[in-house]
Amino acid sequence: MNISLKNQRILVTGASRGIGRAIAKQLSESGAEVIIHYNSNKEEAEKLKNELQNPSFIESCNLSESSLVKGFIPRLIQKYGPISALVNNAGISPSSPDSLSTDDWLEIWEQTFAVNTTAVGILCKEFVDHAKTQQNGRIINISSRAAFRGDTTDYMAYAASKGAIVSLTRSIARHYGKQGIKAFLIAPGFTRTDMANAILEEYGEDFALKDIALNELTTPEDIAPMVTLLCSGLADHATGTSIDMNAGSYVR
């Protein structure tokens, strides 16, 4: 079955690399017009834009600054027109060992929550405001396996920040469905991205491979088709669901 996203305009955050990049490419190949969000890597964002099949746009926003995130979606709508779906993919995972002082630990905690949770909340809120006027809209939040099974002590802030997105997604799905708004969550495990490479270097690839049921680690291209399906409307009755894509490393 061919999935068509023709006439859809979709915002993907953190799209200049990794999972976001693969998602943007898959959405474009399926007919969508993609707004490529990036933080600072304009060169990679422009490179991706030039690779996409359909017309697309690049837009920067520092998600760690809530004052900059506020109004970002309304500005995009004013500039490009209605947005049919929001893919909250951008995230950070800085290490914060428990050996740090509380002040240093708290700084990393607040930085992690600013990007992974507060920015996602603002974007969801402003997208819902817009989607209610359209009586249609889909949100796909990229969380993590860590939201459900926890993480090591170095990454408790990351796990907690991703766990909050689970409740956010379910709340949106349950209370805005009759206004045409659907919300889904995807929870990847170890995925071959630049962000995961630091973790793989720290713990070793053999450690990661022993932790999964399959023979190979998940790639961004393994995740992108699921996002396309959720954006298509073919899975709307799964609204509120959390989809594990972790190569069988955590099965609920």
What's the domain range around 240?
9-245
pLDDT for the residue numbered 249: 87
pLDDT for the residue numbered 1: 57
pLDDT for the residue numbered 86: 98
Tokens of residue 71, six digits: 């109004």
Average pLDDT, the chain: 95
**Is the residue at 251 inside a domain?**
no
DSSP 144-160: -THHHH---GGGHHHHH
**Is the residue at 1 inside a domain?**
no
37 phi/psi in degrees, rounded to 5: -90, 140
What single DSSP character describes residue 237?
G
**Is the residue at 4 inside a domain?**
no
**Is the residue at 215 inside a domain?**
yes
**Is the residue at 152 inside a domain?**
yes
**E strands present in the chain:** 9-12, 33-38, 56-60, 85-88, 137-142, 181-188, 242-245
**Is the residue at 74 inside a domain?**
yes
Q: For residue 175, give every residue at least 6 positions away whose Cβ sits within 8 Å of its Cβ, in sequence order, or none.
A: none
CATH number of the domain where residue 146 is located? 3.40.50.720
**Is the residue at 120 inside a domain?**
yes
The whole-model pTM stands at 0.95
246 phi/psi in degrees, rounded to 5: -130, 20
Per-residue pLDDT averaged across 8-29, rounded? 97
**Is the residue at 3 inside a domain?**
no
**Percent above pLDDT 90 for the chain:** 85
For residue 211, is pLDDT > 90? no
Catalytic residues: 158
pLDDT tier at 164, thresholds 50, 70, 90: very high
- Burial of residue 105, with CB atoms counted within 10 A of its CB: 0-12 exposed, 13-18 middle, 19 or more buried: middle
Distance CA 120, CA 115 (A): 7
Tokens of residue 85, six digits: 């779906």
For residue 205, is pLDDT > 80? no
DSSP 4-29: --TT-EEEETTTTSHHHHHHHHHHHH
- Burial of residue 43, with CB atoms counted within 10 A of its CB: 0-12 exposed, 13-18 middle, 19 or more buried: exposed
User: How many separate domains does the chain show?
Assistant: 1
pLDDT tier at 207, thresholds 50, 70, 90: confident
